[in-house]
Chains A and B, each alone.
Chain A
Amino acid sequence: MTYDIVIVGAGGGGMYAALEAIRRNPALKIAVISKVYPTRSHTSAAQGGVNAALANKHKDDTIDLHIFDTIKGSDYLGDQDSITYLCEQAPILIRELENLGAPFSRLEDGSIAQRPFGGASRHRCCYCADKTGHTVLQTLFEQCMRYGIQFFNEYYLLSIEENDGKCQGVIALNLRDSKIHKFEANSVILATGGYAKMYWHKSSNAAGLTGDGGAAALRAGIPLKDMEFVQFHPTGLRKSGLLVTEGARGEGGYLINNKGERFMSKYAPEKMELGPRDLVSRSIEIEIREGLGFESTAGQFIKLDLTHLGAELIMQRLPQIRELCIYFEGVDPILEPIPVRPTAHYSMGGIDVNTSCETNIEGIYAVGEGACVSVHGANRLGGNSLLDILVFGKRAGMEVVERASKSGQPKISDSQVEDQQKYIDGLFGKTHHERYDVIREELGTTLGENAGIYRTKDALTKGVADVYELRERFKKVKVADHSRLFNTNLMQVMELGSMLDLALCVAKGALAREESRGSHSRIDFPTRDDKNWHKHSIFKMTAEGDIAVSDKPVTMGKHELQERTY
């Protein structure tokens, strides 16, 4: 089938793009393909809120302050032109979404409420209770239904097709019947989500955040950017990786090792459990590595003890956390300590695009966590991820409408489709014996140990070697389920392939970058090195399938480099 616009991914970014495009030109033929139903997308998991300098709460808030906070938060790796656009558009986007039905919490005067958030100098974060992402996603889905957007749900992206540097469309697999479909289009928007699930059990991400869009982009000759920047949170639940907010430690919770010691006394004798995030994460890692963690089939962990706080305080101030622990760990924090460990939860890197969401191939755009504009640089601020998907989702929608009127007939040949069929058939190879779950687990483990919170040359060298080895083994991975109907085994194997390709970028990028900046902390290079490393990392796939790392300059503006202190 031929379309004017194909959007891959139906989270906040993809649906905003679809909505913007159809509203600007209702005659356009738009297809949104997604590997899950739209309302399942990971946008729903964002709880906190979305930043916009509406100045409803703090009357002295300005767009300039939002811009500066974001640049500083990015540890000066964000591109200042993109950040400026992000923050300028923010109030418009929030009002538009509100006008369309998003139930933002209100102030008494009837305006949108705003609350404080990490790294923000004013109360700037708009929210819908603690379900902001969920309600934003629902609102966008509702409006897409209203405008009759055509969804292809549970289709898996196989390839991005281009000819002579021009977009021709995508090829995707329908999970329902394993049939391969071509979606020919001059314009494709990749809104495929992040890649932090590669840390597997050490990740708070949804199961599908495997970076399929980034991997397909690499294969199509589109570079990725700043992949080594992955944000970690110190206290994720042991089994699920779900976050236990800093509030639990703020209220007086203890971190305990298997000797019953409050081990933070060794690392931060004064601040104890309330040391900065990166320090706490690193301390927990060291305890576990030194054999002072607890063992379980779900991996090693340490304990966050709230029992001494008493039932009343926990029920009153931490009810959500208590519920989360009961649901997902089967542990009531009133009665016993919570098993926790650091968890990966956001990918700053992604498909390399400019402020107009353009990649290096004409007609192919990328938005959201799967893209890297870059507005988050080396470290994303809370409340800026939802903003990113909204602002650049809309921007991409505007761009493709412009383009739709002035491009020729796209064409995906039968042989291109056959290539994908051959790839799928190859995965069912009879002599294959490697287990996907074992490779996946080993990938998560080596990334967690060698390319995790704290990094060194030796560990990263091992990490890179491990990923190379796992990629070799992946060539013999076994797909045991041979059914054509809803073959989730096949999908999980393909997702593992995506994760392995992007993991190589993460590990190689982290090894190359000999400095500490934002989320990237090198023990052997503990300070920021602007002279040598104030630049974006760029990742390209070679003809042999290897990853080559290069760099490109950061776009600066009126804000000069400064030391980042809070």
Chain B
Amino acid sequence: MEDRKQITFNVLCFNPEVDEKAYFKSYDVVLEKGITVLRALNYIKDHVDQTLTHRFFCQAGICGSCAIRINGVSKLACTTQVWDELETCKTKDQIIVEPLNNFKVIRDLVVDIDPMIAKLKKYKSWVVPMVKDEDLGKKECDVKPEEFEPINAATDCILCASCYSECTITEADRHYISPLVILRAYRMNMDTRDTAGEERTRLLQEDHGIWDCTHCYRCVEACVKNIPIMEAIQGVRHETFERGMTNTAGARHAKIFLDDVKGGGRLKEATLPLRTLGPIGMIGMIPFALKMGAKGRVPPIFPHKVSTHREVKTLVEQVEKESKKKD
């Protein structure tokens, strides 16, 4: 590829003061190889259109200000090379730039991240120290290096909100906790200096909490710091069982999955909603069930066991034994 070329940036712009809805503005600029998307946007702002509105600060991938969607994927503008994006353009040499998803747009690429901060507060995303207030600063906590291993990756999080933007559950439910808030909660729960694990976990397992994630892994793929967020989600779920918090639809659902698979090697889908939600919770599901019926999509009430169900059972038991050993 040549080292200098004309590139079109199609930027989704929206100024609620004057615009009825968002629209794409096109900027043609000649750029050289090695330029980041942020530098390109700054070039456009300085030389072409001073009204173009975007956030940026450190320009070094550590402050998290400049997360936007570039060619459809949420990421930091300051660590994204224009030349790399040219390879994923739908139309040759045309890069699409949009604000993050799942937030209200304030203007152009600037979104309102206050709901994310509010969720951090709701789920107590802080260490409640075991050291008493009057004793703070007197001596170090004794923490062995391996105790921090579970939280090392999680403390890389810069709150850029790329995972929040990509999360499919947050898109469906604005009250959903969101991946980064679970990650933060996990980081606090696993910190041996923290004393609020019980209270935090109780909040996490309530409605709009950890049980709503459907493991689409979009957050993991989007994370600009490559944090294994799904491990945090699974980790907190595991913790609810350890703390005996099993009386939620989510916990029941998980347990039924395990029991079914252990029993016949297969999920009994027809009775799954009843067993998860209970008879009263089921009432709300009736219209949905009727629609399924009308389309001929009702699963069998008593599915056959899979032929290898004994092997499946042995496998599950083996895994259970291994994980007990780890604990």
A residues with a Cβ closer than 8 A to B are: 23, 36-37, 39-42, 44-45, 54, 92-93, 95-96, 98-101, 103, 105-108, 110-112, 128-129, 131, 134-135, 138-139, 142-143, 145-146, 176, 204, 206-208, 239-240, 242, 296-297, 326-331, 436-437, 479-481, 483-489
- In the assembled complex, the Cα of A110 lies from the Cα of B58 at a distance in Å of 33
Residue of A nearest to B59 (CB): A240
- In the assembled complex, the Cα of A487 lies from the Cα of B106 at a distance in Å of 11
Residue of B nearest to A478 (CB): B50
- In the assembled complex, the Cα of A182 lies from the Cα of B188 at a distance in Å of 37
Q: Establish whether residues A485 and B16, one from each chain, have CB atoms under 8 Å apart when the complex forms.
A: yes
Q: Establish whether residues B155 and A138, one from each chain, have CB atoms under 8 Å apart when the complex forms.
A: yes
Known contacts A143-B126, A483-B17; decide if A207 and B57 are in contact (CB<8 Å).
yes
- In the assembled complex, the Cα of A327 lies from the Cα of B135 at a distance in Å of 44
Q: Establish whether residues B191 and A145, one from each chain, have CB atoms under 8 Å apart when the complex forms.
A: no
- In the assembled complex, the Cα of A73 lies from the Cα of B56 at a distance in Å of 34
The listed residue with most B CB atoms (<10 A of its CB), out of A100, A135, A326, is A100
- In the assembled complex, the Cα of A208 lies from the Cα of B63 at a distance in Å of 12
Q: Is the interface of B mostly helix, strand, loop or mixed?
A: loop
Q: Establish whether residues A206 and B32, one from each chain, have CB atoms under 8 Å apart when the complex forms.
A: no
Q: Is B256 an interface residue (CB 8 A)?
A: no
Measured CB to CB, the closest approach of chain B to A31, in angstroms, equals 16
Q: Is B313 an interface residue (CB 8 A)?
A: no
Residue of B nearest to A339 (CB): B34
Q: Establish whether residues A142 and B125, one from each chain, have CB atoms under 8 Å apart when the complex forms.
A: yes
Q: Establish whether residues B60 and A142, one from each chain, have CB atoms under 8 Å apart when the complex forms.
A: no
Q: Establish whether residues B58 and A206, one from each chain, have CB atoms under 8 Å apart when the complex forms.
A: yes
Q: Establish whether residues A93 and B152, one from each chain, have CB atoms under 8 Å apart when the complex forms.
A: no
- 10 pairs of A and B residues whose beta carbons are closest in the complex: A101-B127, A96-B137, A330-B34, A142-B126, A480-B50, A437-B46, A110-B142, A146-B126, A99-B131, A40-B63
Q: Establish whether residues A129 and B152, one from each chain, have CB atoms under 8 Å apart when the complex forms.
A: yes
- In the assembled complex, the Cα of A490 lies from the Cα of B157 at a distance in Å of 31
- In the assembled complex, the Cα of A206 lies from the Cα of B60 at a distance in Å of 8
Q: B residues 111-155 with Cβ under 8 Å of A?
A: 113, 117, 120-121, 124-129, 131, 133, 135-145, 147-148, 151-152, 155
Q: Establish whether residues B159 and A39, one from each chain, have CB atoms under 8 Å apart when the complex forms.
A: yes
Measured CB to CB, the closest approach of chain B to A397, in angstroms, equals 13
Q: Is B199 an interface residue (CB 8 A)?
A: no
- In the assembled complex, the Cα of A142 lies from the Cα of B60 at a distance in Å of 23
Q: Establish whether residues A135 and B106, one from each chain, have CB atoms under 8 Å apart when the complex forms.
A: no
Chain A residues contacting B46 (CB-CB under 8 Å) are 436-437
Q: B residues 299-323 with Cβ under 8 Å of A?
A: none
Residue of B nearest to A238 (CB): B34
Residue of B nearest to A129 (CB): B152
A-B contact pairs, 10 of them (CB 8 A): A45-B62, A105-B145, A106-B143, A108-B144, A111-B140, A134-B158, A207-B59, A437-B47, A483-B18, A488-B55
Contact of A480 among B16, B51, B79, B83 (CB under 8 A): B51
Chain A residues contacting B137 (CB-CB under 8 Å) are 92-93, 95-96, 99
Chain B residues contacting A39 (CB-CB under 8 Å) are 63-64, 158-159
Measured CB to CB, the closest approach of chain B to A150, in angstroms, equals 12
Q: Establish whether residues A206 and B113, one from each chain, have CB atoms under 8 Å apart when the complex forms.
A: no
Known contacts A96-B136, A485-B17; decide if A327 and B81 are in contact (CB<8 Å).
yes
Report how many A-B pairs have Cβ atoms within 8 Å.
Answer: 175
Known contacts A105-B145, A129-B152, A481-B51; decide if A112 and B140 are in contact (CB<8 Å).
yes
Q: Is B193 an interface residue (CB 8 A)?
A: yes
Q: Establish whether residues B141 and A103, one from each chain, have CB atoms under 8 Å apart when the complex forms.
A: no
Q: B residues 1-32 with Cβ under 8 Å of A?
A: 15-18, 32
Residue of A nearest to B65 (CB): A40
Q: Establish whether residues A486 and B56, one from each chain, have CB atoms under 8 Å apart when the complex forms.
A: no
- In the assembled complex, the Cα of A326 lies from the Cα of B33 at a distance in Å of 11
Chain B residues contacting A297 (CB-CB under 8 Å) are 32
Q: Establish whether residues A242 and B60, one from each chain, have CB atoms under 8 Å apart when the complex forms.
A: yes
Chain A residues contacting B63 (CB-CB under 8 Å) are 36, 39-42, 44-45, 206
Q: Is B194 an interface residue (CB 8 A)?
A: yes
Contact of B141 among A37, A99, A242 (CB under 8 A): A99
Known contacts A39-B64, A45-B60, A206-B57; decide if A101 and B144 are in contact (CB<8 Å).
no
Chain B residues contacting A45 (CB-CB under 8 Å) are 58, 60, 62-63
B-side interface residues, number (CB < 8 Å): 71
- In the assembled complex, the Cα of A488 lies from the Cα of B34 at a distance in Å of 26
Measured CB to CB, the closest approach of chain A to B161, in angstroms, equals 10
Q: Establish whether residues A98 and B57, one from each chain, have CB atoms under 8 Å apart when the complex forms.
A: no
Q: Establish whether residues B15 and A240, one from each chain, have CB atoms under 8 Å apart when the complex forms.
A: no
Chain A residues contacting B142 (CB-CB under 8 Å) are 110-111
Known contacts A99-B136, A101-B191, A296-B32; decide if A486 and B107 are in contact (CB<8 Å).
yes
Known contacts A36-B57, A101-B191; decide if A239 and B39 are in contact (CB<8 Å).
yes
Measured CB to CB, the closest approach of chain B to A398, in angstroms, equals 13
- In the assembled complex, the Cα of A54 lies from the Cα of B137 at a distance in Å of 12
Measured CB to CB, the closest approach of chain B to A456, in angstroms, equals 31
Chain A residues contacting B50 (CB-CB under 8 Å) are 479-481, 489
Q: Establish whether residues B58 and A95, one from each chain, have CB atoms under 8 Å apart when the complex forms.
A: no
Measured CB to CB, the closest approach of chain B to A441, in angstroms, equals 9
Residue of A nearest to B137 (CB): A96
Known contacts A44-B58, A134-B62; decide if A95 and B193 are in contact (CB<8 Å).
no
Q: Is B61 an interface residue (CB 8 A)?
A: yes
Chain A residues contacting B156 (CB-CB under 8 Å) are 131
Residue of A nearest to B108 (CB): A486
Q: Establish whether residues B159 and A329, one from each chain, have CB atoms under 8 Å apart when the complex forms.
A: no
Contact of B65 among A36, A96, A128, A479 (CB under 8 A): A36
- In the assembled complex, the Cα of A480 lies from the Cα of B48 at a distance in Å of 11
Q: Establish whether residues A135 and B155, one from each chain, have CB atoms under 8 Å apart when the complex forms.
A: yes
- In the assembled complex, the Cα of A138 lies from the Cα of B126 at a distance in Å of 9
Q: Is B248 an interface residue (CB 8 A)?
A: no
Chain B residues contacting A106 (CB-CB under 8 Å) are 143-145, 147-148
Q: Establish whether residues B145 and A483, one from each chain, have CB atoms under 8 Å apart when the complex forms.
A: no
Q: B residues 177-209 with Cβ under 8 Å of A?
A: 188, 191, 193-194
- In the assembled complex, the Cα of A488 lies from the Cα of B113 at a distance in Å of 17
Residue of B nearest to A435 (CB): B46
Q: Establish whether residues B158 and A484, one from each chain, have CB atoms under 8 Å apart when the complex forms.
A: no
Chain A residues contacting B144 (CB-CB under 8 Å) are 106, 108, 110
Q: Is B216 an interface residue (CB 8 A)?
A: no
- In the assembled complex, the Cα of A135 lies from the Cα of B158 at a distance in Å of 9
Measured CB to CB, the closest approach of chain A to B106, in angstroms, equals 5
Known contacts A101-B126, A131-B156, A207-B56; decide if A327 and B61 are in contact (CB<8 Å).
yes
Beyond contacts A101-B188, A330-B35: 11 other A-B pairs, Cβ-Cβ < 8 A, are A36-B63, A37-B113, A39-B158, A95-B139, A99-B136, A107-B145, A145-B125, A145-B126, A146-B128, A331-B34, A481-B51
